[in-house]
Amino acid sequence: MLLRFAVPRVSMLMLAGLALSLAQARANGPAFTRADGAYYLRFGVSWMSATYEYGLDGRRHALFGDSLTYRDAEFGQTDVSLLCEYGLTDWLTGVAQTQLRTVVREAYYEPSARDTTISASGLTDIWLGARMRLLPIESPYHATVTVAWKAPMGSPTQEIPLGTGVADYSLGAAGAVPYNIGVVAGHFQLATDFRLRNKASNEFAYAAELDIDLGRGFELRTGLDGIQSLADFDGDEINRTVVGDRSFTRWSMGVLLEADAGLDLGASLASDIGGRNALVATTFSLSATWRSVE
């Protein structure tokens, strides 16, 4: 009887070890760096829509709900995004990311029912950063510090601005802890980022993510992230544009599939669950990631 149960037990341990190895190889996010010469390239497309917004008081209401001038307002946004990470050394990784964005805001002028649709499209700002690993490479835990600079490439002069027209800076810290419960393995990751903004109030960004290896190349990811602006939302001088001051919290869930060695395909859904001076948005995203097989 002891031998009968010993074989499944060994198999379970082998599967758990394999799952943990796979989770380590595919892990990504601000808590992870790339090995010297390794790359991570993610191409994504996302579609965001909103018909409601969170007011300055945090209450949810229809877009332009505080106005008697406009009705049936909708907001839509499509992003084609690119994230690139490259291992400059085993402890230092270069990071660059940006988007091509198309934004449309629809609304009807109440007195005459005139369509007042406005739109904008083009390149948004480009973030360039350096991420430094703080723990030894052989450590199962991960901790990093990231410094970044925002190149002001997005136009601030379109009807819906795509950028502020000035540079911003950020300093972030992140950590990740691997877990292995039976045959389930993955990482729990926390990250925070302070952003020094030159044409808006400074803000904190935060994120927590849990990934779960489902086997057969599938991985489930769920997380909570958001931005906390330092703006005085109770004051009178508030920038209410898309690139202005806002606070929000967002929940997301997605699935990642290892389609081939070094190629991951992903799909995710995100929804805003709270905020101030922010859209109540739902976002659907698809991605393809090419990475070095380490």
- pLDDT per residue as tens digits for the range 220-263: 999 999 999 998 887 654 444 444 799 999 999 999 999 999 99
Domain of 195: which CATH number?
2.40.160.40
| Helix, strand, coil tally for the chain in percent (to 5) | 10, 60, 30
Please give the residue that has the higher pLDDT: either 234 or 20: 234
Burial of 2 (0-12, 13-18, 19+ CB in 10 A): exposed
Alpha helices in the chain (DSSP H): 2-26
Burial of 181 (0-12, 13-18, 19+ CB in 10 A): exposed
Q: What is the DSSP string of 128-144?
A: EEEEEE-S-TT-SSEEE
pLDDT higher than 50, residue 3: no
pLDDT higher than 50, residue 153: yes
CB burial of 132-163 (b: ≥16 within 10 Å; e: otherwise) equals ebbeeeeeeebebebebebebebbeeeebbbb
- Residue 182: per-residue pLDDT: 81
- Residue 19: per-residue pLDDT: 39
Distances (CA, A) of 216 to 220, 257, 293: 12, 8, 17
Band (pLDDT 50/70/90 cuts) for residue 138 is very high
- What is this structure's pTM? 0.86
Q: Which domain holds residue 269?
A: 2-291
Mean pLDDT score of the chain, rounded to an integer? Answer: 87
- State what percent of residues in the chain have pLDDT above 70: 87
- State what percent of residues in the chain have pLDDT above 90: 71
Rounded CA gap, 199 and 241, in Å?
12
- Residue 4: per-residue pLDDT: 31
Count how many domains the chain has: 1
